[in-house]
A and B are shown apart, each in its own frame.
Chain A
Amino acid sequence: MSEPLLKLDRISTGYGDLTVLRDIFLTVAAGEVLCITGRNGVGKTTLMRLISGVLPPQSGSIAMNGQDIAPLEPHARQHIGLSYAPQDSVTFAPLTLRENLTLHHKDHSLDRYQGLFRRFPRIEERLGQVAGTLSGGERKILAFCRVMAEGGSLLCLDEPTEGVQPENISHMAEEIRAAAEAGRGIVVVEQNLSLIEQAADRVIVIDHGEIVHQTRNGPDMRAEILEKLKV
């Protein structure tokens, strides 16, 4: 059996002496969309920081295609195919949209964005504008476009729909599904059930730093998640 694209095995992490996530075990296969949801402040973003390399593990292991990536800095993880859009500060505010999108491509070409520009035409219209002037939702779309076009095999999106209008959320879900069908693995931290229903293969619910529920996308999924999100 081949190795999963991403595997977290009994991993714990946190900030200083504070442990936020405990004994997390999860896998993501190539071509799979895993959505992670939960109430505010339960450790979802901490998990994304751990996967992207911003936060080191306190214990346990993390591997990508069987390779231990715990010692790798975020830039080194990007080089082996992990693309990440954080929850906050998702763009380079003083850089233009064009610079934001081409920064990591030596050819400076926008060709790889043509399909995304058709979905999100406002981005193409504003290529010469600095990202700091965009609204919160537009910044999220810009970061989403960057990650989708980056060419990584594992895409990590932290709350990509925050402040984004419903029509564009559907476009995002379609792009995520298309990427999964192309064989890429996708991890999405999300509270928007609409996107989860449209895009997820599998859903994990986190509470108090632990995985409390796992389910596959199906008719009962919404009710199951809502039950687990009750305070």
Chain B
Amino acid sequence: MQEAIVFSLNVSYGIISLALLVLGLAIIFGLLGVLNMAHGELVAIGAYTAWAVQSAGLPLLLALPVAAVAAGAIGWLMEITIIRHLYRRPFDTLLATWGISILLREAIKLCFGLEYKSVIEPVGGSITILGADYPTYRIWLMVAVVLGFVGLFLWYRRSHAGTRVRAMVANPMLASAVGIETAKLARRAFVLGAASAGLAGCLMAPLIRIDPYMGVDYLLSSFFVLVVGGLGSLQGVFIGSGVIGGAETAASTILGGTGGYVTVLVISILFLWLKPGGLYARR
């Protein structure tokens, strides 16, 4: 019984943490059509921010706004200098952001070196759920992410600003004609996506290995989620994370790490082949 509960919590954690990591990429890809190859490096910047803040003897909570601002600022710089000139040119944005990812990775190496870093969990110990012990920080993280997603969903569906974003995504030309400054809105969406990536890296930092190459793995997982879930909706992010995160956690438990990775790869290939729009394509 306890093993089943721990297994269920592990699957939930796999899904929710993946959704958190994908969110920034989904915002930028889904709303702006930009395949941000530097997404993983923005996650890494968030994680390194957490390490730097903790190393300076400051509370880890302080790292959250710092990580969001640092990654958001880099996103802003990327958008105003390069990306805004390349909207509606998917191959060019892919190449440009790939170049930026290399630049960011080298900058990380220069600033922090090649060795692994680790961050201590701000909330230690474990919580007993139905007789099974589970790390407190993971539980806290899952609750915070679910609440964050609910808030973001309500903002997107109910707020005036969210409606304007949906209008821009649905019909950019008409959005501009009704007075929406689409260029400014696109910049804000890009910065929000970048800041989300930084925030995800910061929140995940105590649970992952931090090194300059960590971004590559997260980029791949994020793409798999978007392939399965579909583009342009929070529902798609959660469904994709559910399939990929759930399958990887379950397969890894039974078949080991390599088996989990192969399972995810096979699922993604099947979706690309049989259902290229994903399970929840934007309507």
Q: Using a CB–CB distance below 8 Å, which chain A residues touch chain B? A: 52-54, 73-75, 78-79, 84-86, 89-95, 99, 103-104, 106, 108, 132, 146, 150
Contacts and interface: CB of A to CB of B under 8 A. Distances in A.
Most A CB within 10 A of own CB, among B174, B180, B183: B174
A104 B174 contact: no
B173 interface: yes
A54 B182 contact: no
B177 A52 contact: yes
Interface string B41-73: 000000000000000000000000000000000
Contact of B170 (A53, A93, A108): A93
Interface in B154-175: 160, 163-164, 166-167, 170-171, 173-175
Contacts of B283: 94, 132
Interface string B172-205: 0111111111110000000000000000000000
B170 A99 contact: no
Contact of B160 (A54, A89, A106, A146): A106
Contacts of B175: 92
Contact of A86 (B166, B167, B173, B183): B173
Contacts of B170: 92-95
14 contacts: A52-B177, A54-B173, A73-B176, A73-B181, A75-B177, A78-B177, A78-B179, A79-B179, A89-B171, A92-B175, A94-B166, A95-B163, A106-B160, A108-B160
A95 B174 contact: no
Contacts of B182: 75
A89 B163 contact: no
Interface residues of B, number: 20
Closest 9 CB pairs of A and B: A78-B179, A74-B176, A92-B170, A104-B178, A84-B177, A92-B167, A75-B176, A74-B177, A75-B181
Given A89-B171, A92-B167, A94-B283, A103 B176 contact: no
A196 to B, nearest CB: 24
Contact of B177 (A86, A95, A132): A86
B140 to A, nearest CB: 35
B178 A78 contact: yes
Q: Is the interface of B mostly helix, strand, loop or mixed?
A: helix
B252 to A, nearest CB: 37
A155 B44 CA distance: 50
Nearest to B232: A94
Contact of A92 (B171, B176, B179, B181): B171
Nearest to B180: A75
Contact of B178 (A53, A89, A94, A146): A146
A99 B180 CA distance: 14
Contacts of A86: 173-174, 177
A51 B171 CA distance: 19
Given A92-B166, A93-B170, A150-B178, 19 more contacts: A53-B176, A73-B183, A75-B177, A78-B178, A78-B179, A84-B177, A91-B174, A92-B167, A92-B171, A92-B174, A92-B175, A94-B170, A94-B282, A95-B163, A103-B163, A103-B178, A104-B178, A104-B180, A106-B160
B179 A89 contact: no
Contacts of A75: 176-182
A215 to B, nearest CB: 29
Contacts of A85: 177
Interface string B144-159: 0000000000000000
Contacts of B183: 73
Given A103-B164, A132-B283, A89 B177 contact: no
Nearest to B173: A54
A206 B167 CA distance: 33
A85 B164 CA distance: 17
B181 to A, nearest CB: 5
A84 to B, nearest CB: 5
Interface string B241-283: 0000000000000000000000000000000000000000011
A54 B170 CA distance: 17
Nearest to A78: B179
Contacts of A74: 173, 176-177
B162 to A, nearest CB: 10
A84 B173 CA distance: 11
B174 A90 contact: yes
B163 to A, nearest CB: 5
Nearest to B184: A75
A185 B160 CA distance: 30
Nearest to A85: B177
A101 to B, nearest CB: 10
A90 B173 CA distance: 10
A53 B166 CA distance: 22
B167 A95 contact: yes
